[in-house]
Amino acid sequence: MKILSIAKKSLLELWREPLLLGLLLFFPVVLVGFYYLAFGHTEGGLAAYLDVLVANNDAGTTLPNQSTWQAGNELLDVIQAAEFEDQPIFDVAVVADPHSAEITLRERKAAMLVVIPPNFSQALVEGMAGTGPVSPAAVALVGDPNNGNFMFARSFMEGLVRQYTLQTMQWSDEHFAVNYEFLPGTGTMSDFDFGVAGIIIFGIAFVVITTATVLVRENVQGTLPRLRLTRARAGDLLIGVTLGQMAVIVVQMLLTFGAARVLGFQNNGSLLLVIIIGLLFSLAAVGAGLLVACFARNDGEVANLGSAVLVPLVFLSGALFPMPKAPLFTIGGRTIEAYDILPATHTAAAMRKVLIFGDGLADIGYELVMMTVLSALILIVGIVMYQRLQLRKG
């Protein structure tokens, strides 16, 4: 009951501060509007340097002179050697697992997947001999048609495949064809749809400031010293404040999601699962707010310190826009980036998988585990620091 009473008190204090409560609830809603104006009607910009995945499934073939010909390897060499103004066009990565490649495309960490079929060499040989199909170059270019990087990469890649095939086959253009395949769920997705998850995360991260504001005012107004004289334990206070902030987060997420839907956001997943993801991430925001409250002495310092924590927590995670590669090491075939130490990184990945691609709980297991562990770690550090620096003072 003490925890619920403190949670109620925390909510009442927010209610008495309409400006602060309005900022927490409606800032992400306003941000949705700005994001829609900027990206809701565009297909994204062009990339000067493109990450391309290549799945070379070509099995090769035996020529009449008994030598082995690997046309897939030759095409891969052509793609890797392609240059524009003396600079490489593509950053090529050869992949063997199509599922992992699709995840990379979904997360927009690559522009395109080029799939070279198993019978590529054999089809070319049959075509040159006049015994094969009319269009043996069944190379598939897989990507998101609403991703500007894919469209830009496709314009180069189609020309390279066309040139290699026609030179090899000595055919005319009318015999040439390339297959295009689009990722499931991306046919109508815009950059606005892709960015909604980041906006939700940005809104949740504002809890850093509201949590710190509530606790600093407890100290400034003399409430905290009086709480030390009661039977309320430190855990009661901190859990109560956390529950109060999480209750506001649920309302905030519903408002943000509703505004996005009104503006045309296409949701393909479970809203309940998204709320659960958001609440788990809010633990990290509350923990960061506790750390800010350890050192801030008034509202002005809360705003300054809170912003210094909030901005890198969100912007360096790739929640709002892609970040450059920063690999640290590889474990079990998974590359760990420097940004993976931020819970917002995994929150953004999980939310996008659910909202955009309709993935379920089983599909975001890794992201949920990492997000929960990192959020819990930040919350624990915040609790320990606040207990030592504030609750045990005097």
- pLDDT tens-digit readout, 205-221: 989 998 898 888 877 77
Band of residue 173 on the pLDDT scale cut at 50, 70, 90: very low
Residues whose CB falls within 8 Å of the CB of residue 84, separated by 6 or more in sequence, listed in order: 156
- Position 133 pLDDT exceeds 60: no
Look at residue 2 in the predicted model and tell me its pLDDT: 67
Band of residue 242 on the pLDDT scale cut at 50, 70, 90: confident
| pLDDT higher at 338 or 347 | 347
184-188, 224-228, 282-286, range with the lowest pLDDT = 184-188
53-62, 73-82, 95-104, range with the lowest pLDDT = 95-104
- Position 190 pLDDT exceeds 70: no
Containing 116, the helix (H) or strand (E) segment is: strand 112-116
Q: How far apart are CA 166 and CA 186, in angstroms?
A: 31
Cβ–Cβ under 8 Å, residues 356 and 268: yes
Cβ–Cβ under 8 Å, residues 186 and 353: no
Look at residue 183 in the predicted model and tell me its pLDDT: 54
Band of residue 189 on the pLDDT scale cut at 50, 70, 90: low
What mean pLDDT value characterizes the chain? 78
- Position 136 pLDDT exceeds 50: no
Residue closest to 246 by CA, chosen among 207, 212, 199: 207
Look at residue 358 in the predicted model and tell me its pLDDT: 83
Look at residue 271 in the predicted model and tell me its pLDDT: 92
Note the Cα 83 to chain centre separation in Å: 30
**CA-angle at 64, arms to 62 and 65, nearest 5°:** 95
| pLDDT higher at 232 or 259 | 259
Can you list the alpha helix ranges (DSSP code H) found in 222-320? 223-228, 234-262, 271-295, 299-315
Q: For the residues 42-67, what does the mean pLDDT come to?
A: 68
The three-state secondary structure class of 259 is: helix
Band of residue 365 on the pLDDT scale cut at 50, 70, 90: very high
- Position 368 pLDDT exceeds 80: yes
- Position 241 pLDDT exceeds 60: yes
Band of residue 295 on the pLDDT scale cut at 50, 70, 90: confident
Which of the given ranges, 169-178, 188-197, 214-223, has the highest pLDDT on average? 214-223
Q: For the residues 155-172, what does the mean pLDDT come to?
A: 71
Q: Residue 134 is which amino acid? A: V
| pLDDT higher at 242 or 178 | 242
Look at residue 237 in the predicted model and tell me its pLDDT: 73
- Position 130 pLDDT exceeds 90: no
Give the strand pairing for 334-337 and 327-331.
antiparallel
Band of residue 311 on the pLDDT scale cut at 50, 70, 90: confident
- Position 175 pLDDT exceeds 60: no
pTM for this model (two decimals)? 0.62
The three-state secondary structure class of 61 is: strand
Distances (CA, A) of 377 to 30, 213, 274, 281, 351: 31, 22, 21, 11, 21
Q: Give the whole-number percent of the chain exceeding pLDDT 70.
A: 76
Residue closest to 270 by CA, chosen among 366, 364, 374: 364
Look at residue 281 in the predicted model and tell me its pLDDT: 95
**CA-angle at 97, arms to 140 and 341, nearest 5°:** 120
Look at residue 42 in the predicted model and tell me its pLDDT: 38
Encode pLDDT of 344-356 as tens digits.
Answer: 999 998 998 898 8
- Position 386 pLDDT exceeds 90: no
- Position 249 pLDDT exceeds 70: yes
Look at residue 170 in the predicted model and tell me its pLDDT: 61
State residue 296 phi and psi, 5-degree precision.
-85, 140
